């Protein structure tokens, strides 16, 4: 979606520049018409022996300005067509080296050798110790691992009645503050398309997910998803 938004913005930018170029071309054509009229007037005055109303230097200036405008319009068009597609990534500058500690006393530092920092052993992992992983996310992940064989069993029963039943299915379910599973819905890969499964398969999957229990929480209910690709041989869990 982000790529499509960038592409639409680039197209709108090109269309705006094209409109500006069209306005400049119309202005240039109007100037060329005025120059042509002035040339006709100049020729008439020369034939009549009169003095032209515009000097030669003025004509040279107008001619030069016209070429500058045309060159600028071409540069704008080139920049509009190629600038949105060019992305330059600047490498990061290396960090400055750490200063060498001064030598004040005898030992490894005085001899020009800096001892390495002491090694710190990582804390031993114990059962039930806190980790950086979100407890709720970890609990949901374990629940999906438990549901994989349950969904496969429901699919096995489905293929007995409908041998060609296979495809991608996403199970969306609500986890109530009490820890019980509330609403459970199934959706396919393509939104709005008819599901490849029957009502019996949906009932089986909903009943399996309703058996899940989670730790009660003080906050509002949360929504979780589980995605499966079901084939005639196995269930691939994502």
Question: For residue 123, is it within any domain?
Answer: no
- Is residue 147 a part of any domain in this protein? yes
pLDDT over 70 (residue 58): no
Does the pLDDT of residue 224 top 50, yes or no? yes
60 lies in the same domain as 142: no
Do 152 and 231 fall into the same domain? Answer: yes
**Residue at which a domain ends, from 85, 113, 128:** 85
User: Is residue 97 in a domain?
Assistant: no
pLDDT category of residue 141 using cuts at 50, 70 and 90: very high
Q: Which letter, b or e, does each residue of 69-81 get, where b requires 16 or more Cβ atoms within 10 Å of its Cβ?
A: eeeebeeeeeebe
Task: Show the domain range for 8.
Answer: 2-85
For residue 184, being part of any structural domain is answered with yes
Model confidence over 188-206: pLDDT tens digits?
988 888 999 999 999 999 9
Pair (210, 146) in one structural domain: yes
Q: Are 144 and 232 in the same domain? A: yes
Structural domain contains residue 126? no
In a domain, 231, yes or no: yes
User: Are residues 78 and 158 both part of a single domain?
Assistant: no
The conformation of residue 180, written as its DSSP 8-state character, comes to: B
The number of domains in the chain is: 2
In a domain, 155, yes or no: yes
For the ranges 41-50, 131-140, 148-157, the lowest mean pLDDT is seen at 131-140
**113: its two tokens:** 């050798």
Q: What is the CATH number of the domain that holds 160?
A: 3.30.2420
- The proportion of the chain whose per-residue pLDDT surpasses 90, expressed as a percent, equals 34
For 144-177, the pLDDT digits (tens) are 999 999 999 999 999 999 999 999 999 999 999 9
Higher pLDDT, 52 or 68: 68
Q: Is residue 39 part of a domain?
A: yes
Residue-wise pLDDT for 61-100, tens only, equals 776 677 667 667 666 665 555 454 444 455 566 666 776 7
Residues 142/237, Cβ–Cβ less than 8 Å? no
């Amino acid at each position: 979606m982000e790529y499509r938004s960038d592409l639409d913005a680039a197209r709108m930018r090109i269309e705006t520049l094209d409109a500006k170029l069209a306005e400049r071309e119309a202005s240039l054509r109007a100037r060329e018409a005025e120059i042509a009229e002035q040339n006709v007037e100049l020729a008439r005055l020369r034939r009549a022996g009169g003095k032209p109303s515009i000097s030669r230097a003025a004509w040279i200036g107008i001619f030069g300005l016209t070429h500058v405008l045309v060159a600028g319009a071409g540069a704008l068009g080139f920049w509009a067509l190629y600038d949105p597609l060019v992305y330059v990534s600047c490498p990061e500058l290396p960090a400055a080296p750490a200063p060498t500690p001064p030598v004040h006393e005898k030992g490894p530092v005085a001899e020009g050798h800096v001892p390495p920092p002491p090694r710190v052993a990582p804390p031993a992992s114990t059962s039930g110790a806190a980790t950086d992983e979100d407890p709720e996310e970890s609990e949901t992940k374990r629940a999906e691992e438990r549901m994989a064989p349950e969904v496969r069993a429901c699919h096995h029963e489905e293929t007995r009645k409908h041998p060609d039943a296979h495809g991608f299915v996403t199970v969306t379910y609500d986890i109530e503050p009490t820890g019980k599973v509330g609403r459970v819905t199934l959706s396919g890969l393509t939104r709005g398309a008819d599901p490849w499964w029957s009502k019996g398969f949906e009932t089986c999957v909903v009943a399996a997910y309703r058996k899940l229990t989670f730790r009660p929480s003080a906050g509002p209910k949360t929504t979780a998803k589980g995605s499966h690709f079901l084939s005639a041989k196995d269930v691939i869990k994502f």
